[in-house]
Amino acid sequence: MTSTNGHSQTLETDQPGAAQRHGGKVMRFHLKIWRQANPQSAGRMVDYEIDNVPTAASFLEMLDILNERLVARGEDPIEHDSDCREGICGTCSLTINGIPHGGQRGSATCQLHMRTFRDGDTIYVEPWRARPFPVIKDLVIDRAAFDRIIQAGGFITARTGSAPEANALPVPKVAADLAMDAAACIGCGACVAACKNSSAMLFTAAKIAHLNYLPQGQAEKDTRVLNMVRQMDKEGFGGCTNQYECSAVCPKEIDAAFIAKMNREYALASLKDITTGLGSAVD
């Protein structure tokens, strides 16, 4: 129930056996969750008391339990994003107690379990806070800005048709390893949510690096970095001031060193653009 009248209401489970099926021990929490009907409306924090939460439940499963009880009472469920629930897709995007993904290092929200909290804890749950990520409803945000940055990167030069011979294009192991490290980015947006400037430089740098390290990405290397960085700026993301909050909350622990690489490549590509007219797809 809402806290507008100064009271909150406990949402008790209708199925006492559910906790036992999840491992036996149960917990109780006081939740303060951001509710917002649509992008134009003003949002607010709403109080919920929830008990009989299994310690084995993930954070998203806890929200599922809460939503089941809200629906059973005829109330609107809390909207939130999720998909794979395995820390792979990057869909889950919650700020928990002021920290994107809840502060468990190297983990997304879906990998955070309720046993990491203490029984009776008050937990604040909010969406990502960044102007380029407008709230759609409750905890759901629009991350289309990331899609447009990736689209600005264009394509790579690669032959189509049958699968090429694996050894036809040698790739140095160091380059392959670094490209794989960068490609681990799942595009969740936690880096933006953690940054005081709402910078997307870690995300953009990772998406640039995983192609630019490889031979297949060399032909479009300069135009790629120009287009993606310019699109990032066009979307309204801020600049990097080297505080490294982005790497600290990244569920894949992407190294901030990729930002330095992107800055070097952008500087060189900008010089070539001035002297040779590389051109760019972004105004």
Of 14-18, 31-35, 45-49, 76-80, minimum mean pLDDT range? 14-18
Query: In whole angstroms, how far apart are CA 27 and each of 24, 56, 62, 161, 201?
Result: 10, 10, 11, 56, 39
- Residue 65 confidence (pLDDT): 96
- Residue 278 confidence (pLDDT): 62
Top CATH class, 144-276: mainly alpha
- Per-residue pLDDT band for 157 (boundaries 50, 70, 90) equals confident
Phi, psi of 142 (to 5 degrees): -100, 110
Top CATH class, 10-126: alpha beta
The domain limits of the chain are: 10-126, 144-276
For the entire predicted model, the pTM comes to 0.86
Kindly give, in sequence order, each residue whose CB lies less than 8 Å from that of residue 20, ignoring residues fewer than 6 positions away: none
170-201 pLDDT tens trace: 889 999 999 999 999 999 999 999 999 999 99
The token pair at 153 is 């990167």
Strands 95-96 and 135-137: unpaired
3-state helix, strand, coil in the chain (%, to 5): 35, 15, 50
